[in-house]
């Protein structure tokens, strides 16, 4: 019983993943890559925003 449930769950997840991939045309690897990219650049991005906001305040 348990094994069958697990298989059903796996195939259900695979179907979900592939339908998601077809809709968005994004692979899991690309998704991970973009998350890492955002994490690495988060500091620089937020600093840029802070600088822009400061500039706007002074105008």
Tens digits of pLDDT across the chain (59 residues): 567 776 777 777 777 666 665 666 666 666 666 666 666 666 666 677 777 778 878 77
Q: pTM for the complete prediction? A: 0.26
Q: 12-35 as b/e, with b when 16 or more CB fall inside 10 Å?
A: eeeeeeeeeeeeeeeeeeeeeeee
* Boundaries of every domain in the chain: 2-58
Q: Answer whether 17's CB lies under 8 Å from 26's CB.
A: no
pLDDT of residue 29: 66
């Amino acid at each position: 019983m348990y094994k069958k449930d697990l298989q059903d769950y796996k195939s259900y997840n695979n179907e979900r993943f592939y339908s998601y991939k077809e809709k968005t045309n994004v692979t899991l690897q690309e998704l991970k890559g973009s998350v890492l990219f955002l994490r690495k650049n988060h500091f620089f991005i937020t600093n840029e925003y802070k600088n822009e906001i400061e500039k706007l305040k002074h105008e």
